[in-house]
Amino acid sequence: MRRVERTAWNAIVRCTRAQKLSTIPLPIPVEQWIEGPLGISFGIAALGPGVLGIARPTEREILVSQALADQEARFRFTAAHELGHILLHPRITAEFRESADGDFVDRKIEREADRFAAAFLMPLPALTFEFSRITGQNSTEPNGLLSAARRADTAALQLFRTVVLPHMTRRFGVSLSAAARRFADVQLPTGEPALPWEVCAMLLPPEQVREALRRG
């Protein structure tokens, strides 16, 4: 996870420096940054039944299915997922295809690309700031809320479910499941996840839990 987080952060730094930005814009302009500072061809195309995205590391090309054009959060995550393949796995294969049916060639590689997408779309400094801001607005201390949620405290889980995660989805332009999984990926100084996956699963509808488990 450290390598994934570092690679995503380096991409963020490269983009903000190239555009002389002093702060990280939210939501992350993923399409513009892929084509601009990162120098990767980006397109929307009919990719065939069940294919959501394609990454071609050698050609430095990303394609996202036009079927996702009206699903903003899924579209953005798929674009960032394919970017993850190009930056993390440039020598593994000439082409990666993300399939809606979950027919993954290598679940470890796909999970790394998912984690990259979450880290790129929800950079840790911005995530920390937004978490502190939304908890402060609700008269709650961030570390105290995380601690209570890890204990599966009912009030803490309710605050996450009704306030924290909806705020994150709006601020970062991601889905509810992506926001929840990000808290499972972030490591505390102790090495533990900010929220264990078992707790994150309590925050999501059953169908989204099944989708997350399918992806590994």
The pLDDT tens digits of the residues spanning 106-145 come to 678 999 999 999 999 999 999 999 999 999 999 999 999 9
Last residue of a domain, one of 104, 121, 138: 121
pLDDT digits (tens, 9 = 90+) for 173-201: 999 999 999 999 998 888 899 999 999 99
**Number of domains the chain contains:** 2
Neighbours of 44 (CB within 10 A): 15
In a shared domain, residues 99 and 114: yes
Last residue of a domain, one of 78, 100, 121: 121
In a shared domain, residues 20 and 86: yes
Structure confidence at residue 216 (pLDDT): 52
Boundaries of domain holding 26: 2-121
- The amino acid present at 93, given as its one-letter code, is T
Percent of all residues in the chain with a pLDDT value above 70, rounded to a whole number: 93
Instruction: Report the predicted TM-score, pTM, of the whole model to 2 decimal places.
Output: 0.93
- The amino acid present at 12, given as its one-letter code, is I
Residue 31 class from Cβ within 10 Å (0-12 exposed, 13-18 middle, 19+ buried)? middle
In a shared domain, residues 105 and 168: no
In a shared domain, residues 105 and 133: no
Which positions ≥6 away from 197 have C-beta within 8 Å? 181, 184
